[in-house]
């Protein structure tokens, strides 16, 4: 029910989850030296050229040639993703592809702090006239959020360099070239039931040639072709010219991550439509074959036998066992007749071969407009499995929609609330804040999803991650900088739902609250069968505390449990890097004597009450 939606927006992958510290490591950006600066102290003399003849990997055609006349070391320095975060006491794996061209120079590798202080250095030598990978380990003697990496030709001569890389040794599960440990931990701590990936609009691309193609994201990292990220240029008010997709976090890594954190993978494939907010380019219906084949091959990549076809490619990457994928999304946020025609073709082909895969279909970007209603009408007629609804709206929308699903058709497709977030100011406003006000509105709305869990099968907040120095969209669930991870009040709402998920929905009635005031109190109840606990979720959105009388009718004897409360002094309160725990849940023991008990719901609060059932 409670999952996460990962999209590479706000530097979510490169500069985020993917732990690579070097930006444009392969010199493949359209400006091949973006992110790099020539280090040319007064006495240094040298030439930097970008070349493509005889690259070390065909999929990574550009490399840099550094020619030095050796008065003093000469070369390049990389700025990282708005600075490299390095920690004292930790090790960093440096690697580079080098080809000796002339002379016998050494290569000096230096890590600098933001203030220019040298943090560590090493020297590599003995280059041959063929490409070879050289490695070293750096140990910064200080922690720095804005470090830089320099590679300097030392001695007269010429070297070709490519794929200059620096990774923390400490990654998630210590995988070399892996993911940021602290960011994955934040995901794992959410206990997500599923992960939707890789988008979002990046699945669609602004034009079809820039769509997300999963086959380009597997295999050796140097053969994954770079793609411009559509969030690079989407918002004129938030231009991000250095935003590209290296696909170091590719589909294999996504599946692996899902497995690590116990989340069902929900990949989304392009359905032959580019983003309808951009070009809305269409692949003609009679040319959809390769798009549909990509979807079928993806299922084989995830679930097929290790001995052949795409399953063998998965096995070659180190995972012979199937990933057990059961869900697949066809298109992101598509709308209109063009979509249903394409969805139908995908659905027929996929269900023919893989009837066990549940398909997620799109209902457009709005939760209530003609596009949305047409989608439901058509998708119902097509017997779609799961319809993906999206809502970015003011907190009031979420309060007003807590009963949205009470009367949904129980015989039709199931609902996936695939993207939602309360916006404190308005959609795409750069002033939106992740404050308590938004988090409470989401918590209230989720009581309605939980009460209707027979029809709403899944829900995920969006977007998931944002880099404080390179974001395009706010609000976001988790903010990061180069060294820190910040959990928002909305994060804690998600976590409280996912960690207090019952197995059965219990009927609940709110009584004795005057009609006007009732709108400010929201509740749901579930039963955790294994733990033998009743779980109540209670939101008090009013500015005063409420004393409520709870009656667990028909429950029998009760035992001890807990109360967890998320609240703060004011609705505008948020967490910041300087004050990360300002709005955070607090848990205390709770031992009611009887199944009827009194509770005080603090003003502006979300409470989760767990009550044990006597054996
Ligand atoms: O979450 C940000 C964007 O919002 C997603 O890419 C898209 O699906 C929606 O419009």
Cβ distance 520 to 537 under 8 Å?
Answer: no
Cβ distance 39 to 118 under 8 Å?
Answer: no
Residue 543: CB atoms within 10 Å: 10
Distance of CA 202 to the CA centre of its chain: 12
Residues in Cβ contact with 310 at an 8 Å cutoff, skipping those fewer than 6 apart: 297, 298, 300, 301, 304
What pLDDT does residue 40 have? 72
- Token readout for 140 is 């910064």
CA dihedral of 144, 232, 195, 265, whole degrees rounded to 10: -110
The residue among 164, 148, 131, 162 whose CA lies nearest residue 39 is 148
Ligand 1 mean position to 340 CA, how many Å?
20
Q: Can you tell me the distance from the alpha carbon of 463 to that of 182, in angstroms, rounded to the nearest whole number?
A: 18
Helices (H) and strands (E) in the chain, counts: 11, 32
Cα dihedral sign, 81-82-87-93: positive
Q: Can you tell me the distance from the alpha carbon of 96 to that of 78, in angstroms, rounded to the nearest whole number?
A: 13
pTM: 0.98
Neighbouring-strand partners of residue 269: 330
Mutate to test the pocket of ligand 1, among 274, 276, 332, 429 (most ligand atoms within 8 A of CB): 332
Cβ distance 504 to 579 under 8 Å?
Answer: no
Neighbouring-strand partners of residue 267: 197
**DSSP 8-state class, residue 324:** -
Q: Can you tell me the distance from the alpha carbon of 153 to that of 70, in angstroms, rounded to the nearest whole number?
A: 8
Ligand 1 mean position to 434 CA, how many Å?
17
Name the closest-CA residue to atom 3, ligand 1: 200
Pairing mode of beta strands 478-480, 465-467: parallel
Indicate if ligand 1 lies below 6 Å from the C-beta of 205: no
- Domains in the chain, start-ordered, CATH in brackets? 2-17+171-206+232-240+255-499 (3.20.20.80), 36-168 (2.60.120.260), 505-613 (2.60.40.1180)
Q: Given 3-state DSSP classes, what are the helix, strand and coil percentages for the chain, each rounded to the nearest 5?
A: 20, 30, 45
Residue 202 CA, closest ligand 1 atom number: 6
Cβ distance 167 to 137 under 8 Å?
Answer: no
What pLDDT does residue 118 have? 98
Given 333, 389, 419, 450, the catalytic residue = 333
Residue 199 CA, closest ligand 1 atom number: 6
The residue among 471, 397, 496, 495 whose CA lies nearest residue 4 is 495
Name the closest-CA residue to atom 2, ligand 1: 463
Give catalytic status of residue 333 as yes or no.
yes
Ligand 1 mean position to 89 CA, how many Å?
39
Residues in Cβ contact with 207 at an 8 Å cutoff, skipping those fewer than 6 apart: 274, 278, 279, 281
What pLDDT does residue 517 have? 62
Question: Tens digit of pLDDT for each residue in 411-420?
Answer: 999 999 999 9
Ligand 1 mean position to 75 CA, how many Å?
40
Q: Can you tell me the distance from the alpha carbon of 131 to that of 162, in angstroms, rounded to the nearest whole number?
A: 9
**DSSP 8-state class, residue 191:** -
Which stretches in the chain have pLDDT values below 70? 41-42, 513-519
Pairing mode of beta strands 84-86, 144-154: antiparallel
Mean pLDDT of the chain: 96
Indicate if ligand 1 lies below 6 Å from the C-beta of 365: yes
Ligand 1 mean position to 419 CA, how many Å?
7
Quick one: 58 exposed, middle or buried, by C-beta within 10 A (0-12, 13-18, 19+)? exposed
Cβ distance 310 to 330 under 8 Å?
Answer: no
Q: Can you tell me the distance from the alpha carbon of 497 to that of 87, in angstroms, rounded to the nearest whole number?
A: 34
Name the closest-CA residue to atom 1, ligand 1: 463
Tokens 């009760």: give the residue.
Answer: 558
Q: Can you tell me the distance from the alpha carbon of 259 to that of 321, in angstroms, rounded to the nearest whole number?
A: 11
Cα-based distances in Å from 412 to 288, 381, 452: 27, 9, 14
Cα-based distances in Å from 327 to 7, 206, 216, 356: 17, 25, 21, 9
Indicate if ligand 1 lies below 6 Å from the C-beta of 199: yes
Question: Tens digit of pLDDT for each residue in 442-457?
Answer: 999 999 999 999 999 9
Indicate if ligand 1 lies below 6 Å from the C-beta of 422: no
Q: Can you tell me the distance from the alpha carbon of 23 to that of 16, in angstroms, rounded to the nearest whole number?
A: 12
Mutate to test the pocket of ligand 1, among 234, 278, 333, 360 (most ligand atoms within 8 A of CB): 333
Indicate if ligand 1 lies below 6 Å from the C-beta of 332: yes
Exposure of 19 in the CB half-sphere (CA atoms within 13 A): 26
- Token readout for 141 is 């003697």
Q: Can you tell me the distance from the alpha carbon of 292 to that of 272, in angstroms, rounded to the nearest whole number?
A: 9
Mutate to test the pocket of ligand 1, among 5, 197, 200 (most ligand atoms within 8 A of CB): 200
Task: Kindly give the residue spans of alpha helices, DSSP state H, lying in 393-545.
Answer: 395-400, 436-451, 489-499, 515-518
Strand arrangement of the beta sheet that strand 358-362 belongs to: 4-5, 194-197, 264-269, 327-330, 358-362, 386-393, 414-422, 456-459
Name the closest-CA residue to atom 4, ligand 1: 200
* Phi, psi (deg, nearest 5) at residue 135: -130, 160
Rg of the chain on CA atoms, in Å? 26
Q: At what angle do helices 289-303 and 251-261 cross, to 10 degrees?
A: 40
Residue 392 CA, closest ligand 1 atom number: 4
Ligand 1 mean position to 384 CA, how many Å?
22
């Amino acid at each position: 029910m409670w999952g996460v939606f990962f999209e590479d927006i706000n530097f979510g992958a490169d500069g985020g989850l993917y732990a690579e510290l070097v930006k444009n490591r392969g010199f493949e950006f359209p400006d091949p030296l973006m992110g790099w600066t020539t280090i040319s102290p007064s006495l240094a003399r040298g030439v930097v050229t970008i070349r493509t003849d005889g690259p070390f990997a065909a999929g990574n055609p550009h490399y840099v040639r550094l020619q030095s006349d050796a008065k003093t070391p000469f070369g390049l320095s990389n700025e990282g993703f708005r600075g490299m975060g390095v920690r004292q006491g930790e090790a960093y794996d440096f690697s580079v592809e080098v080809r000796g061209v002339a002379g016998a120079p050494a290569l000096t590798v230096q890590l600098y702090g933001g203030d220019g202080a040298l943090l560590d250095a090493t020297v590599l030598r003995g280059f041959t006239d063929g490409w070879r990978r050289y490695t070293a380990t750096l140990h910064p003697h200080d922690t720095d959020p804005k470090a830089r990496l320099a590679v300097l030709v030392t001695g007269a001569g010429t070297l070709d360099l490519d794929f200059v890389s620096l990774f923390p040794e400490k990654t998630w599960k210590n995988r070399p070239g892996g993911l940021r440990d602290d960011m994955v931990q934040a995901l794992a701590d959410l206990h997500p039931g599923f992960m939707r990936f890789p988008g979002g609009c990046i699945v669609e691309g602004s034009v079809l040639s820039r769509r997300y193609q999963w086959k380009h994201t597997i295999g050796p990292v140097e053969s994954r072709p770079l793609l411009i990220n559509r969030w690079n240029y989407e918002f004129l008010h938030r231009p991000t010219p250095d935003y590209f997709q290296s696909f170091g976090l590719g589909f294999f890594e996504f599946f692996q991550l899902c497995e690590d954190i116990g989340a069902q993978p929900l990949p989304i494939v392009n359905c032959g439509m580019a983003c309808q907010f951009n070009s809305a380019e269409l692949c003609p219906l009679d040319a959809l074959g390769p798009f549909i084949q990509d979807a079928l091959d993806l299922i084989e990549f995830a679930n097929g036998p290790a001995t052949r076809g795409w399953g063998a490619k998965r096995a070659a990457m180190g995972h012979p066992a199937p990933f057990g994928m059961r869900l697949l999304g066809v298109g992101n946020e598509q709308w209109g007749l063009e979509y249903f025609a394409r969805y139908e073709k995908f659905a027929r082909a996929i269900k023919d071969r893989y009837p066990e895969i549940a398909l997620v279909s799109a209902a457009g970007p709005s939760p209530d407009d003609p596009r949305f209603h047409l989608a439901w009408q058509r998708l119902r007629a097509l017997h779609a499995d799961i319809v993906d609804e999206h809502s970015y709206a003011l907190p009031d929308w979420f309060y007003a929609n807590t009963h949205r699903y009470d009367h949904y058709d129980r015989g039709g497709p199931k609902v996936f609330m695939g993207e939602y977030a309360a916006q404190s100011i308005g959609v795409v406003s750069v002033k939106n804040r992740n404050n308590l006000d938004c988090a409470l509105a989401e918590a209230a709305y989720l009581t309605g999803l939980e009460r209707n869990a027979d029809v709403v099968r899944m829900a995920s907040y969006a977007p998931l991650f944002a880099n404080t120095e390179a974001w395009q969209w706010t609000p976001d669930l988790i903010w990061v900088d180069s060294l820190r991870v910040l959990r928002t009040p909305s994060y804690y709402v998600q976590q409280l739902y996912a960690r207090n998920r019952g197995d059965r929905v219990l009927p609940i009635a709110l009584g004795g609250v005057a009609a006007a005031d009732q709108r400010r109190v929201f509740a749901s109840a579930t039963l955790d069968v294994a733990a033998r606990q009743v779980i109540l979720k209670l939101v008090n959105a009013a500015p005063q505390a409420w004393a409520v009388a709870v009656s667990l009718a028909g429950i029998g004897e009760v035992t001890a449990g807990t109360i967890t409360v998320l609240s703060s002094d004011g609705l505008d309160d948020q967490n910041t890097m300087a004050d990360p725990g300002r709005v955070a849940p607090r848990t205390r023991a709770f031992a009611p004597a009887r199944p009827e008990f009194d509770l005080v719901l603090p003003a502006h609060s979300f409470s989760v009450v767990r009550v044990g059932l006597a054996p």
